[in-house]
Amino acid sequence: MNASRISSTLLLIFFLIPASIFASAQRFVRAPIYSAGAESGSVAVGDFNGDGNSDLAFLSSESQTAVNIRLGTGDGTFSKGQQITLGHAGASIITGDWNNDGVLDLAAAEYECVAILLGNGDGTFLLQGNYNPDADPGHLATGDLNGDGIADIVTTDFLPYQNIRVLLGLGGGQFSDPMRVNTEFYSAIYGVAVADFNGDGKLDIAAVGDDNYDGVSQLIILQGNGDGTFRRPHLYETTLYADGNPIVGDFNQDGIPDLAVDAFEVSIYIGRGNGTFRRQVTYPGTPDERGAFLVAGDFNNDGIADLASSSFASNYLAVLYGNGDGTFKASSLFGTGPCPYSAVAADFNKDGNLDLAVPDDCDTNFVELVGDGKGNFLTRRSFPLGIYSEAGAVAAGYLDSDKHLDLIVADSGSPVLSILVGDKNGGFRVTNTYLSNGVPAWVATADLNDDGSTDVVVAEGRDDTVGVVLGNGDGTLQNEVTYPTGNNPVFAAAVDVNGDGEPDLLTANAMGNSISVLLASGSGYLPHKDYSVIRPLRLAFADFNRDGKVDVATANSIGPSQIFLGNGDGTFATGVKLTINDAPAAVGTGDLDHDGNPDVVLLSAKTGLIYTFLGNGDGTFGAGITSPAPVKPTQMILADFD
């Protein structure tokens, strides 16, 4: 199969079950249930934190839209990750790399807008902005529609139904105003997919529509011109009441994209390679119910694409096994939760076999079905998520007087700080939890008031504040006091940058394109002064020009690392830039070549390369020296481990 011909993901899901299935023996398998954080209608899969494991992003279908992240552990289980609140009820969610930094991002269709969430590479996301497509968006798809190397987004209208709209990517996570695509339909356009159906190297659109709201659906093919515009549509009869995404796959293994459409029946369209399709062949869907979603994958490891289908009103899904010629065998049934609305396929436990994750639209759970590689899905025992189900940043310090290091753990999904007191064996136990004023994006420790006790600094990205939590010296903390910063602080540190002996606060403000400096006043902190830098994620500190004053190095999700040279009074001058082939995810400093000059190390989450810039001692640096990392890491610590 020519993979370049198919841009739409193969891991979409059909949920339907043929009536003929019941002529053969059916098996229902109980599945483990995990919390999805809210009533979930749509799900996307990808490696969001660069650890090689498949993660999940669920879009809630409640009145308040939230994206809930579940991070795969590699053994088929999941831990809770970030929860991002958007606005109104959501319809669908997809993954893509909107800013070309090699890190997966998300796009979510919600009321009157498409929300763009840029990935940080550590499993968390930042809301970049909302784009109004002049309607309520429904289903989403992505591909490079105009051949500029930047991912674009296609959306259908949920209200009014009749349109398809294209948002062309401009780079940096930005998109153009929506362009309407003429489908020559007066009624409903539902699902959408993107692929090169005619082999001309230009992406085309497949959509499902209902011209008169009478349940008589049609498959719509719009051939792309390669500039983001499309020719007049070709229409094909399809199954009744089809209202989900068409699924792209090579079902007869000829290297040409085919299509599957789901409702009461599954319709298969075999592509001819010129943008046209053979007449549909139908397979019975879920008994007595209309299918809600389809996903394609090789579930029995025979090298042939299979389909999984579910019905929203049932509590099972059906798997149709491909024969390799575009036809399918009768399906087997597998139990899910009560309202399986969508699904994704991935190898969650890294055993080489595809598994399924199925969100439940009726409650806050999702079900994982573990594939055995023979076309069956086996049960798994559920596991407790525990108190650290949404553990995010962590910092160490001596919070009590026993001289054993303790930990402060920030919950990335709620405003909670947990204290774990260390023991002499290197173990920890939870002693207290504290509510912070906002959801913590980062925590750091320092003695802020010179009383000998460790205090805590909290970056609260959603609230544009940095929090100060003073320690009592006995393992407990006082109430938090917050100070305004630039927009969306995702990192915070306490460093004395004006030489008065009091730690000052510095934050990296990702969405604000700045770093904020808050000078200690003796009784609190002065209003922040900001310095411009594009999308900073992390900061590191050293005296790069050997003048006895603290300087700053940044790691930015877009563009080169920026050096700021301290003036010694808490202000900074802009220094040199350190450029690598892609955006750094982390930054560290140290004297790596033992010449007495601080050096800078940048870490690329995209390529897994470490870039070392040796300092000259005057605020400038030599050319970057690259070293491979064994994996694609997202954070870095410099220390003498041997």
**pLDDT at position 392:** 57
Read off the pLDDT of residues 181-212 as tens digits, 9 standing for 90 and up: 877 664 577 788 999 999 999 999 998 877 65
Read off the pLDDT of residues 384-402 as tens digits, 9 standing for 90 and up: 323 333 445 677 778 888 8
pLDDT range class, residue 325, cuts 50, 70, 90: confident
Q: Which fold has domain 388-532?
A: Methylamine Dehydrogenase; Chain H (2.130.10)
Q: Which residue has the higher pLDDT, 329 or 220?
A: 220
- Which helix (H) or strand (E) segment holds residue 529: the answer is strand 529-532
Is 295 a residue whose pLDDT tops 50?
Answer: yes
* 71-85, 342-356, 505-519: range with highest mean pLDDT: 505-519
**pLDDT at position 104:** 95
Instruction: Determine how many CB atoms are found less than 10 A away from the CB of residue 179.
Output: 16
Taking the C-alpha atoms of residue 78 and residue 80, their distance in angstroms, rounded to an integer, is 7
pLDDT range class, residue 8, cuts 50, 70, 90: very low
> Hey, is 532 helix, strand or coil?
strand
Read off the pLDDT of residues 143-177 as tens digits, 9 standing for 90 and up: 999 999 999 999 987 555 567 889 999 999 999 98
Give the tokens for residue 201: 């190297």
Read off the pLDDT of residues 548-575 as tens digits, 9 standing for 90 and up: 999 999 998 887 899 999 999 999 999 9
Instruction: Determine how many CB atoms are found less than 10 A away from the CB of residue 357.
Output: 27
Task: Say what the pTM is.
Answer: 0.51
Please name which of 136, 27, 29 lies closest in space to residue 358, comparing C-alpha atoms. Answer: 29
Judge contact between 310 and 29, C-beta under 8 A.
Answer: no
Lowest pLDDT segment from 78-87, 490-499, 524-533: 78-87
**pLDDT at position 47:** 93
Q: What is the DSSP track for 392-450?
A: EEEEEE--SSSSS-EEEEEETTSSEEEEEEE-TTS-EEEEEEEE-SS--SEEEEE-SSS
**pLDDT at position 183:** 76
Name residues whose C-beta falls within 8 Å of residue 394's C-beta, 6 or more positions apart in sequence: 407, 408, 409, 410, 443
Instruction: Determine how many CB atoms are found less than 10 A away from the CB of residue 403.
Output: 8
Question: Do the bridges between strand 265-269 and strand 281-284 make them parallel or antiparallel, or are there none, so unpaired?
Answer: antiparallel
Half-sphere exposure of 383 (CA within 13 A, CB side): 14
Average pLDDT, the chain: 77
Judged on CB neighbours under 10 Å (0-12, 13-18, 19+), 384 is: exposed
Virtual torsion, Cα 627, 628, 631, 636, nearest 10 deg: 0
Judge contact between 92 and 244, C-beta under 8 A.
Answer: no
Please report, for residues 76, 348, 384, the alpha-carbon distance to residue 53 in angstroms, rounded to integers and kept in the order given. 9, 7, 19
Average pLDDT in the 2-13 region? 32
Average pLDDT in the 429-456 region? 84
Lowest pLDDT segment from 335-339, 580-584, 631-635: 631-635
**pLDDT at position 324:** 82
Is 582 a residue whose pLDDT tops 90?
Answer: no
Please name which of 602, 563, 612 lies closest in space to residue 582, comparing C-alpha atoms. Answer: 602
Q: Report the sign of the C-alpha dihedral through residues 581, 584, 590, 596, in that order.
A: positive
**pLDDT at position 237:** 73
Taking the C-alpha atoms of residue 17 and residue 13, their distance in angstroms, rounded to an integer, is 13
Please report, for residues 134, 357, 454, 467, 471, the alpha-carbon distance to residue 507 in angstroms, rounded to integers and kept in the order given. 36, 37, 19, 11, 21
pLDDT range class, residue 236, cuts 50, 70, 90: confident
Name residues whose C-beta falls within 8 Å of residue 426's C-beta, 6 or more positions apart in sequence: none
Q: Domain spans of the chain?
A: 285-382, 388-532, 538-641
**pLDDT at position 608:** 57
Please name which of 82, 119, 114 lies closest in space to residue 100, comparing C-alpha atoms. Answer: 119
Is 259 a residue whose pLDDT tops 50?
Answer: yes
Virtual torsion, Cα 571, 574, 577, 578, nearest 10 deg: -20
Tracing tokens 């108190």 back to the chain, one arrives at 387
**pLDDT at position 313:** 53
Is 43 a residue whose pLDDT tops 90?
Answer: no
Q: What are phi and psi of 269, to 5 degrees?
A: -120, 115
Taking the C-alpha atoms of residue 249 and residue 260, their distance in angstroms, rounded to an integer, is 8
